[in-house]
Every structure is written in structure tokens, then in C-alpha cells.
């Protein structure tokens, strides 16, 4: 079986071919420019690859309602030129089944299928980097609703030492993304996160916000595992701080052994690294084929 996958990212587009065992057979990457420049290149890549299905994980917001007139569209994105882009409609030219979801949902699906969430039916995958987004997989399926989850815009309580900070989100001053994303770290300290790895105070404040968000996710979704990726999480020391803050915020309310005594196995890093999203996209296409 030859499974096609696409990651539509804000800075780059990744295409790949995999088999049903999670082996990447071929990969193609191009910069993200405009739909008119980018989409034809992606389509051309797949035309002679004899794929059986295609899965697409996209930056959003996107429309995931198959009964909607705009299903498969990128909708109100602030990324110039991409609002109201009919992604699924464009790739119908390949005449194969197409699965479509958010970039973080497909990364979550990749980790559930092949990585740190394998054989677990309720998992949350979070990307904390330029933006913040969480994919939610509960009772064996990706979660959708009115649209898709927007955990990055969960509202949080500011730290008393951070109360005057104005984050970069144009919609919410105190949302998760505004307080803890890569751009918020850079705005707060005047330099990129990777230049601050020796500053424990930076990462303790970061963990203060991530811990709040994870506590909220535990209370709302009750996942059996939380996987955290993205550029901000490349600082391994941050995991230790995050686990402590999450335990502090849960405050003994949930008395489960996995959290109380095995938090280092409950909040973990991805196993697939940069392949989580593309393998998840390929698996999404396989699931669509199976239908």
C-alpha cells in the first residue's frame, strides 16, 4: 500500500509517501508561499506516485464538517493569501480517497499509531512553538465538534510577576498562545527561546503557563497520556518544570497512580520527532481508504 501525506505548514509544506507500517518511502519539502504557487507543486509531486489515498494535515482554522459547503477549506486564517482556500477540492484531481484534519490532529494520530501514544485510546498531543495547538484523540478517534479544538486560545491566569506583559495574540491578552508561545518568549525577553536555555527563571515561568493548560486538559479531556512537541519543548529541562507545575495545579484532586506516581511517563516527548505529522497524515488517508 502506498499512502500519500501532506503537512500544510505556515513556513513549509511537506509531502511524503509511506507504507502501512509507518516507513517513509519518499519525502518532498517546499517553502510555503501562496496557494497559487504551492498547491500545483504538491499536486505534481503525487501525480506519478501511484498512491492509494491521501491524508492532509493543515494549519487552520479549517472546516472539518463534511456536510458543510466549505468542508476541506482553510477558512479565516491570518496567513496572507490562504483564507478560504479549498484544499481538499484541489487535490480531488488525484482521484483517491482524501482525509483532512488539522496539523496537530494528524501529528496526534501519528503518535497514537506509531509513537509515544501507540495502543492508547485517549491521548493529547500538543505543539508549543511559533503557535500553540493541541490534537485530541479520545476513545479511539480524533475529536471534532462545532469546529476543531483551539487549546492554544485557552485563557490562563497570569503570573503576578508577568501581569503587565502584553502577548502577541491579537485576540486574547491572556491566552495560552499569547503567554507561552515562542513569539511570546521572544517578546518578553528580547531574544529567541533557544538563547535562553541557561535561564531557569524563563522556563519556570513557561512551565507555570503550560502546567495550567495541562491541568485544564486533564480536567476536560481525561487523557491517558499527554505528548508535548514543538520548538519550545526542545529544552528538555522544561519537561521537569512542567510536570511539577501540572501536579501543583491538579492539587491532589485526581488521585490516579499515573499522575501521582508516574508523571514522567504521563507527560512525555514525541517518539516520532519530525515524522509525527507526515505519518499521521498518511494514516489519515489510509483510514479514509478503509471507509
Distance CA 219, CA 254 (A): 9
Q: Which three cell numbers stand for residue 61?
A: 482554522
Distance CA 181, CA 167 (A): 9
Sequence-ordered list of residues with C-beta below 8 angstroms from that of 190, at least 6 positions apart, any chain:
none
Distance CA 86, CA 97 (A): 16
Instruction: Please report the pLDDT score of residue 158 as a whole number.
Output: 97
Q: Which three cell numbers stand for residue 220?
A: 476536560
Instruction: Please report the pLDDT score of residue 242 as a whole number.
Output: 98
Instruction: Please report the pLDDT score of residue 85 as a whole number.
Output: 97
Q: Which three cell numbers stand for residue 52?
A: 492509494
Domain boundaries, the chain: 3-101, 116-268
Residue 266 near residue 258, CB atoms below 8 Å: yes
- Reading the chain (291 residues) residue by residue, the pLDDT tens digits are 999 999 998 889 999 999 999 999 999 999 999 999 999 999 999 999 999 999 999 998 999 999 999 999 999 887 889 999 999 999 999 999 999 999 999 999 999 999 999 999 999 999 999 889 999 999 999 998 777 778 889 999 999 999 999 999 888 889 999 999 999 999 999 999 999 999 999 999 999 999 999 999 999 999 999 999 999 999 989 999 999 999 999 999 999 999 999 999 999 999 998 899 999 999 999 999 998
CATH number of 116-268: 3.30.420.40
Q: What is the DSSP string of 45-104?
A: HHHTS--SEEEEEE-SSB---TTSTTTTEE-S--STT-TTEEHHHHHGGG-S-EEEEEHH
Instruction: Please report the pLDDT score of residue 130 as a whole number.
Output: 85
User: Side by side, which strands form the sheet with 123-128?
Assistant: 141-142, 132-138, 123-128, 225-229, 267-268
**Fold of the domain spanning 3-101:** Nucleotidyltransferase; domain 5 (3.30.420)
What DSSP state is assigned to residue 148? B
Instruction: Please report the pLDDT score of residue 273 as a whole number.
Output: 86
Q: Which of 159, 110, 104, 156 is nearest to 134 (CA)?
A: 104
Q: Is 145 helix (H, G, I), strand (E, B) or coil?
A: coil
Instruction: Please report the pLDDT score of residue 274 as a whole number.
Output: 82
Q: Where are the beta strands (DSSP E) in the chain?
A: 3-8, 12-18, 24-31, 53-58, 73-74, 85-86, 98-102, 123-128, 132-138, 141-142, 225-229, 267-268
Distance CA 266, CA 254 (A): 13
Q: What are phi and psi of 224, to 5 degrees?
A: -90, -15
Distance CA 76, CA 105 (A): 18
Distance CA 240, CA 249 (A): 15
Q: Which of 279, 258, 283 is nearest to 268 (CA)?
A: 258
Q: Give this prediction's pTM.
A: 0.92
User: Are 3-101 and 116-268 in the same CATH fold?
Assistant: yes
Q: Which of 40, 74, 33 is nearest to 57 (CA)?
A: 74
Q: Which three cell numbers stand for residue 31?
A: 517553502
Residue 59 near residue 107, CB atoms below 8 Å: no
Amino acid at each position: 500500500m502506498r499512502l500519500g501525506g501532506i503537512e500544510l505548514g505556515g513556513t513549509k509544506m511537506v509531502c511524503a509517501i509511506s507504507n502501512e507500517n509507518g516507513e517513509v518511502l519518499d519525502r518532498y519539502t517546499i517553502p510555503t508561499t501562496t496557494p497559487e504557487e504551492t498547491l500545483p507543486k504538491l499536486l505534481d509531486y503525487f501525480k506519478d506516485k501511484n498512491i492509494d489515498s491521501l491524508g492532509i494535515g493543515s494549519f487552520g482554522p479549517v472546516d472539518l464538517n463534511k456536510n458543510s459547503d466549505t468542508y476541506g477549506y482553510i477558512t479565516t486564517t491570518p496567513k496572507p493569501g490562504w483564507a478560504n482556500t479549498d484544499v481538499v477540492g484541489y487535490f480531488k484531481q488525484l482521484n483517491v480517497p482524501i482525509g483532512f484534519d488539522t496539523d496537530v490532529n494528524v501529528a496526534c494520530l501519528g503518535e497514537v499509531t506509531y509513537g509515544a501514544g501507540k495502543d492508547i485510546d485517549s491521548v493529547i498531543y500538543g505543539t508549543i512553538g511559533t503557535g500553540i495547538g493541541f490534537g485530541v484523540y479520545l476513545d479511539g478517534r480524533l475529536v471534532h465538534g462545532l469546529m476543531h479544538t483551539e487549546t492554544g486560545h485557552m485563557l490562563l491566569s497570569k503570573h503576578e510577576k508577568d501581569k503587565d506583559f502584553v502577548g502577541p495574540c491579537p485576540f486574547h491578552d491572556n491566552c495560552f498562545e499569547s503567554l507561552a508561545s515562542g513569539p511570546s518568549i521572544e517578546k518578553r525577553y528580547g531574544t529567541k527561546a533557544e538563547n535562553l536555555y541557561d535561564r531557569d527563571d524563563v522556563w519556570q515561568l513557561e512551565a507555570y503557563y503550560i502546567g495550567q493548560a495541562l491541568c485544564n486538559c486533564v480536567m476536560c479531556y481525561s487523557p491517558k497520556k499527554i505528548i508535548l512537541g514543538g520548538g519550545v519543548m526542545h529544552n528538555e529541562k522544561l519537561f521537569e518544570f512542567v510536570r511539577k507545575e501540572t501536579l501543583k495545579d491538579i492539587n491532589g484532586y485526581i488521585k490516579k497512580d499515573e499522575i501521582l506516581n508516574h508523571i514522567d511517563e504521563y507527560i512525555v516527548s514525541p517518539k516520532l520527532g519530525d515524522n509525527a505529522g507526515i505519518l499521521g497524515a498518511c494514516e489519515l488517508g489510509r483510514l479514509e481508504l478503509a471507509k
